[in-house]
Structures are given as C-alpha cells and as structure tokens.
Chain A
C-alpha cells in the first residue's frame, strides 16, 4: 500500500472518530456514532497491517495480542457494574498511558520500523515529540492508577499532603525538561528510562494530594492527558489518525474538567494543587439551638402521594446504596397516581461527569424525564416535594446565601424552594466536603434517616396501605 493512500485512510478514520463524538449530541444518534467509531478503528488497524506487511510470525503475534487484550476488554465491558464506571474509566486511562510509554520505547529501540532514523541517529525532532509522549503517557499511567485506587475505595479519598510538595513537583518538572534536552543530545537508553521514571513519580505526586470530592475533575483531566500523549506520538509516527484523535480527546477531557470545575465553583489550578475535601471544616457553633424535623416512610408516602409534582434529586449516595431501581419503582407508583415526576441532576453529582444519568438510564428511567441544573432549577418553586436521595453539598443553600461558606458561589439545586424537601440520609453528619448543610434546619425540610435503598422501598410499601 502506498504511503499516500495510507495517509488518506488514516484521515478517513480520524473523520469517523469526529463523527463518533458528534453522534453523542443526542441519545438517538449516539448509537450510530459509536458504530462510526468502531469502523474508524477497524480502518486504522487494517491500514496499518497493509502498510507494515508483517511476516507470518509477526501476523500471528498480532492476532494473539489482539485476542488476549480484546477478550479481556470484552469481558470487562460485559461484567462491570454501572456504579463502578468511574473506576473503570480511570483504569482504562492508565492503560492508554502505559501503551503510549511502550510504543515510545519500541520506537526508541527500533526507530527504523517507524521511519524516524536509525538507532543512535534518531531525528532530534522525533526525539522531542517522543519524549513528550512518553512523559505525558507515564504521568497519565501512575496518575490514573492512583485515581483508580481512590475511586475504588482501596485508598482513602483523603488528600495526602507531603511537605514541600509544590517545590518537589516543580523540581521534577524542571528535571524532566533537562532530561529531554539530554536525550536529544545523547540518544542514550538510560536517559530515556530516567524520563519514564521521573514521569511515573510525578504522576503519583500530582494526584495523591487531590481529595475524593475533586475526583470528577481528576478523571476528566487524565482523559485529556491520555489524548495529548497520543497526539505527541502521532507526531513521531507521522500518523494523521493518531494526531486527530489525540487532539479530540485532549480537548474533550479539558472541556469536561472545565465543566466540572464550574459545577463546583473551583478554579482548575486550586483543584490541581490539591488539599480540598479531606479536612473537616470547623463546626459552625453560633450558639443557636437548631432543630431538625424528622419523618418516617409513612409521612413521606403521604406527602408524595398527595403531591402534584415531585422532583427527585439523586446523588452519589444513591449509587452507593444501589437505590436507583427502588427509586424508579417509586416514580412509577407516583406516576400511576397522576403525580408529575422529574429528575434533577447537578453537574458534579456522582464521581464522574454524567454518572447519574447512566445509573438512571440503567434503571430504565427515560432520558426525557431527567434534567440538568439550569433547565430545572426554576421549577422547584412549583414543586410540592423535592426528594433528595444521596446528594448533599449540591443542595446546600449556604452556597447561595452565606458568603462565608467555603462552597459559596457553587451552583446548587434550589430544593429548599419546593413546598417540602424530603432529605434521605444515613445520619445527620456533614457532607463530602465536610460542610454543615443549613437545609436540614429549614422549616420545609423533613429528614428521612436511613439507608437510601431501604427508605425508598419502605415509602413504596407505605403507599400500598
């Protein structure tokens, strides 16, 4: 196959990837978009095979690799629980990062196969692109592993704050630049592996100080990094599909990080510097005795059955308690009684962008009953009941009213404007950000203390009476 034809086909697969993302603008076109993506990937793989003309042995090795990896991937995709999606995505990012490092290592040891020179005489420009790809790839790898451990609960979500961490990170960054210059000069394998090592360390150090509450930003950011690593290697290999994809994924992750930061009213820099969401904020003790109104499942059932409009506000707690199916049952029961039911999703509900929407879709909640914050916030004033299940900080009125609150300015769902706010919670503790929620003490709020799933089931049962 001629190199020109191959370049053209790579361009075609790049365009198909663009169309895959374009399809996601609406659920009805999304499935077709995913098919475009698969076709694009198929074209890229077949083109490369036609270009490389592997020997019979090489061909079998390729088939073996695809079978092992593909089999494992397909198995994981079928088995994974939707609640574990954030962990899975983090784990997948780490694989892309490591794959980038391995491809760069292969290019370093056999530059001839990639057309970038000979061993010991690799083009300087290719070396710079390659080392950028390797550095970003290695940072993505260890960073994603840490993010995976934190999301999966195998590591505490608390930020780990090492002394002088900013100085250490800056020093490692400077060292990386020096090493890259040294690599261009010496072409030494030792320097190459030093770059890998330093980047691996940097990946760990960058992510451990970031608290669990900021994980949606971290996952999006690592998504972006994996794209930039791919793009850098695309330059080395002169591969259009890789360059286009890298740019797409890089900007996609960056936009998602921006949306997440905005949803928390935090600046990207302050998230990256870390340290938020671990230490408990000092309890506000203003000497005023505050009372909380508690209710039972029966009270909740009565209120909801007699409402004309109920808005459900799910949060990460719903996912933890696996309450989404019970919730759908409750909504079905209400709708059968002629109650209007809608769902309101905060941009940072859950542990990754759009996580709640997937969980609700899994429980067969139609997507046209699920609304984003800006589309539904004005409707709370007309709602009889806001049913808050597993969400906390995103409903805290102090973010709107109290200038001294650490979360002041964060957009919130105005559940306190509904006639009654039913708040399901395990106990009266503070939320993930360690901030007291003033919503609990409002007159219109009724606390339903208990497990989210069990409480929802009890309400459904109470409606039978």
Chain B
C-alpha cells in the first residue's frame, strides 16, 4: 500500500516534470516571438505572466500530490504563505510619503502578520500531532 502510493506520487512527479518542460518550451517561444515583435524590448508583464502561468501548473501538480489526510494543514499553510502580501504593506509603511498610504499599509501589515504567525504556528501545531503507529 505504502509502496504503491509512493510509486503513484513519483509517477505524478514525472508527469509534472514532463509537462513543465513542455510549458517552459512554449513559454520560451512565446517570449522569443514577443522579443522580435517588440524590437528587442519585452514588457516585463510578459515575464510576470509566464511565471504566473508556470506557477499555476506547479501548484496544480504539487497540490494533487498532497495526501488527503493533510488537507487541513494544507489550507492553513497556503493561508500563511498568501500573507506574503506583507511585502506590499512593508513598502507602504517603509517608504510612503502620504500619511494615508502609511495608515493603510500599517493596517495591512498588522493583518498579514496575524496570518503569517497564526498560519505557520497552527500548521506546526497540527503537523506535530500526526504520529505513526508504535510498534
């Protein structure tokens, strides 16, 4: 049973890598085409979009390989990492000129901090409870 699931996981990973290579090739050719069309100047948006699309594929394959027993920790940890939005809050508080922007940034900073600490710690607490049978 154990071996079986490891095998399927490896299998999925292989397929993921193959797909990734395919998308990477495609992305390359798209980027090349844009490069030529724009006379050598590529809008950074294109690169961001390429990374975004690739990350969706990576997320798709990685999340399917998550064992259903850990779906609750998965939600808690995705919650924690989506609080990386804190970088926007830090920029607003750190270098903003306008008082309002600093205020909004500060609120965002506090909210994101609740999530970062709460999310990672509660995930850690949950994961610590998963134990194997004592033999």
Contacts and interface: CB of A to CB of B under 8 A. Distances in A.
A85 interface: yes
A417 interface: no
A347 B60 CA distance: 19
Contacts of A58: 93-95
Interface in A324-353: 345, 347, 352-353
A240 B123 contact: no
A105 B104 contact: yes
Interface stretch (A15-23, A178-186, A443-451): A15-23
Interface stretch (A228-236, A282-290, A406-414, A455-463): A228-236
Contacts, number: 388
A237 B84 CA distance: 12
A256 B71 contact: yes
Nearest to B106: A65
A22 B82 CA distance: 16
Interface residues of B, number: 84
B33 interface: no
Most chain A beta carbons < 10 A, residue from B71, B77, B106: B71
B92 A249 contact: no
Interface in B59-95: 59-60, 62-95
Interface stretch (B21-29, B34-42, B107-115): B107-115
Contact of B55 (A14, A20, A358): A14
A355 interface: yes
A223 B109 contact: no
Contact of B81 (A10, A51, A95, A249): A249
Interface of A is mostly: helix
B127 interface: yes
Nearest to A226: B82
Contacts of B17: none
Interface string A112-139: 1110000000000100000000000000
Contacts of A73: 113-119, 121
Given A78-B125, A240-B51, 19 more contacts: A18-B59, A18-B62, A37-B81, A58-B93, A72-B114, A80-B122, A92-B114, A96-B112, A102-B108, A106-B96, A109-B98, A226-B82, A251-B63, A252-B59, A256-B63, A353-B75, A362-B129, A366-B134, A375-B1
A26 interface: yes
10 contacts: A20-B77, A31-B128, A44-B84, A68-B110, A70-B116, A99-B112, A227-B78, A230-B84, A244-B52, A367-B132
A40 B81 contact: yes
Interface range on chain A (Cβ under 8 Å from partner): 35 or more
A103 B74 CA distance: 25
Nearest to B124: A34
B60 A251 contact: yes
A392 interface: no
Contacts of B79: 89, 92-93, 96, 223, 226, 249
Nearest to B83: A96
A275 interface: no
B83 A99 contact: yes
A5 interface: no
Interface string A46-76: 0111011110001101100110111111101
A110 B92 contact: yes
A238 B49 CA distance: 10
B93 to A, nearest CB: 5
Given A219-B75, A252-B59, A237 B87 contact: yes
Contact of A44 (B71, B87, B102, B128): B87
A199 B111 CA distance: 19
A110 B74 contact: no
A243 B121 contact: no
B96 to A, nearest CB: 4
A220 B75 contact: yes
Contacts of B90: 45, 48-49, 52, 54, 62
A52 B105 contact: no
Q: Which 7 A-B pairs have the closest CB atoms?
A: A69-B113, A354-B71, A73-B118, A73-B117, A110-B101, A54-B94, A247-B55
Contacts of B68: 259, 345, 347, 353-354, 357, 372
B40 to A, nearest CB: 19
Contacts of A10: 87
Nearest to A47: B87
A356 to B, nearest CB: 9
A65 B114 contact: no
A370 B81 CA distance: 28
Contacts of B106: 61, 65
Nearest to B51: A243
A13 interface: yes
Contact of B115 (A18, A30, A71, A96): A96
A211 interface: no
Contact of A76 (B59, B67, B118): B118
Given A31-B128, A106-B101, A110-B98, A246 B82 contact: yes
B101 A99 contact: no
A73 B123 CA distance: 12
A161 interface: no
B6 to A, nearest CB: 8
B9 interface: yes
A24 B117 CA distance: 19
B121 to A, nearest CB: 4
Most chain A beta carbons < 10 A, residue from B84, B86, B101: B84
